[in-house]
Structures are given as structure tokens and as C-alpha cells.
Homo-oligomer: A and B are copies of this chain.
Amino acid sequence: MRCQPPAEIGASYSDIDTPALVIDLDAMERNMALLAERVSALGVRLRPHAKTHKSAMIAAKQVALGAVGICCQKVSEAEALAAGGVRDILVSNEVVGARKLSRLAALARQIRIGVCVDRFEQIAMLDAAARQAGAQIDILVEIDVGGRRCGVTPGPEATRFAAEIARCANLRFGGLQAYHGRAQHLRTPAERRAAIDAAQKGVIDTVAHLTAAGFVCDTIGGAGTGTFLIEGASGVWNELQAGSYIFMDADYAKNVSDEGGNAPRFEHALFVLATVMSATTSEQVVIDAGHKALSNDSGFPDVWRRPGLAYHRPSDEHGVIAVASGATPPSWGEKLLLVPGHCDPTVNLHDWYVGVRNFGTPQARVEALWPIDARGAVG
């Protein structure tokens, strides 16, 4: 029921059918090695977020580079990734509903599973599900460090949760989830630092209450691609959850990157390849990738290395490429590469990664076709 892959392994780059989700394998591997090296130098653990890639194959590469496991957001994602061989998964999110808790507990019999809570009643429900499955589940108490989404208020509240978790035979208090999603996309280093500094105060206060009550946080998790250097150097967070660094998207590229000139430069490694399917005027052409091939929630994609071309006016199956005066218009049938505005929901639209080696050179070849295992796993 999965769609046919848009290429065959070994095919030349020009034979990839469109729209296709294409990885520059060399760039992705450089991104993965660079982040792993930087996190290792900070002396903290890496648990990359698989909500970005949804691929057991890529998760395995992250673990091979030293990651202690991966994060995901949904029970069904965890199931798909566990089926692909991942052995340690944190669902960095709240899970609600008897059916989902029971599936989560079943998974925890097979692999190490952690999950977040921000509701007191949920602790007993998780314990009951784990007991029924004969499993142990690690619990992180999520605190709201500025995202105004999930999480309890930093301070004494988490201690009440930890005490309740400690009373449950099939749960283990693992620490805190302290992720500041909104901070990742603040444009200047100063804004990002201010946001994480404020978050850090909340984490320190919460940990002080926990420590005073005799609770140890094995894990203080959080951070993303936009801020991981700050959390990693804080002496507070000890497990970093960056995800987007492997691919980088057009929105992340708008962040001004300058942590004292020391920030790693991640490369764009994920593209939607599209074909010019209509070219009836000189001011614009139409390509075969619209809302169903690209998520436009964080802005339109950039047209890769084609100055003067701009994607706009997407509809479900079409995108319009405006051609600036003086720019070379793409020809009918030509293929264009788009850097997605936002990788995560774009990946979720596709069934296959087409991994290209020697991307951007005449030797470019399809080296890998990887299923996007957890595509559509929203439950």
C-alpha cells in the first residue's frame, strides 16, 4: 500500500521521477558527524529527535555515531521505529488514552521506553498499563520552559510528580523534559540565548526542589538544532534532542548563526526534486510539487542555486515559480531542487527517501532507497 519509489538503486540522478524527496548523503553524513562531535565535546548525551526523519535506518546511523537512543513524539512512531530495530526510545510528549497507553506498555516489554507527563492523574494510568504488560517505563516530568505548550510550571510542582512516580512499582522517575521549541527559530543568537537563559532558571529551580526532596534527575532533556550549544554548555541539561540538523530547512537557514563564530554550519541535505510541467509565459513556470509534496507551514521552499527563481502560489499539486527579470527561466521538463521551508512535515508527506551520492556532480547516483517507516504515524 506504500507508493512506488521514484527511483531505482544505482540509477543516475537524472532518472529520478518527481516529486521525490532526495537526500544529499554526503551532506547528511557531514551534518551527523559534526553534531555528534560537538555534543560529545560538550560532555553530554545525544538523543536525536526522529520526528524529523521517521526512519529506522537513519536512527541506526545516529546511534552508531554515539547517540544513546532517539526521541519521537507518538506511540505509533515508536512502534514503527522499534520494528526497524531501535532499542531505546523516549516519547518526548504526553500520551493520553487507554489504547495508546497499552500499546506503549507493550513496547516497553521489548525495548527501553520513556515518556513524559504533565498531569498528575496520568501517572497511575501509566503504572496500571505498565503493570498489565509486565513492563517498566521511564517517566520524565515535562516542565514548560517557555514554549507555552505542554508541561507543568517550573518549581515545586515536579516534586509532587516525582514522589507519585516513585510510589509506582512499574514506573521509574527519570528526570525532566525541558524543551523550548519556540527558542529554536528565534533569529538572532542574542534572542536564543535570552530564551534559554530564562528556561535554565526554571530548570535549576525545579532541580533544586527535587534534590531537596531526595530525587535525582538522571536525565534533563531538551534542546534543538537552534540552541543545542547553549543547553549543552549550561551544565544543567545533560541529554540533547536536536533533530533538524541532519537535513536543515529553509526556515532554520534564516537563523543568524554566530555563537562567537563557533557555531557549526549544517548544510542543506534534504530536497524535493520537482519537474517543470508547464511553461507558457516568460514570467513564471509551474512545477509538479504543491501542498501534497511540500509543507509550507514555515514559509515556502527556496529554489536551490537558481538565483531569481522564487516558489509561490502553491496549490495542492502545483507550485508556481516566479522568474525575476533577468533570471534564466527554467525550461519545460527541467528538474528543480527545492529546500523545504520545514523538513519534518515535508518528510511526513513522502514514503521514500532517495539517497544520492556525489550529489550535485555529474557522477550523482541513487545509492539508497529508504522507507520513511513512521510516515503518517500520527497516533
A101, chain B: closest CB distance, angstroms: 11
**Supplied contacts A3-B379, A93-B277, A350-B378, 20 more A-B pairs, CB within 8 Å:** A1-B1, A15-B99, A17-B379, A20-B379, A73-B316, A93-B317, A96-B276, A121-B332, A144-B280, A148-B284, A149-B286, A150-B277, A150-B280, A151-B278, A291-B295, A293-B378, A296-B297, A317-B378, A349-B349, A376-B376
Q: A2 interface residue, CB < 8 Å from B?
A: yes
B18 touches A97 (CB 8 A): yes
Copies in the complex: 2
On whether the beta carbons of B316 and A344 are closer than 8 Å, the reply is: yes
**Subset of 16 A-B contacts with CB under 8 Å:** A4-B76, A17-B99, A20-B379, A51-B317, A118-B280, A119-B278, A144-B280, A149-B286, A152-B280, A153-B280, A181-B315, A291-B344, A292-B344, A292-B348, A316-B345, A351-B376
Min CB distance, A78 to chain B, in Å? 13
Q: Which residue of B4, B76, B93 is within 8 Å of A3 (Cβ)?
A: B76
| Chain A positions 105 through 145: 1 when the CB is less than 8 Å from some CB of chain B, otherwise 0 | 00000000000001101000000000000000000000010
Of the four ranges (under 10, 10 to 19, 20 to 34, 35 or more), the interface on chain A belongs to 35 or more
For residue A279, CB closer than 8 A to chain B, the reply is: yes
Which among B350, B351, B379 is the interface contact of A18 at CB below 8 angstroms? B379
C-alpha gap A332/B122 in the complex (Å): 10
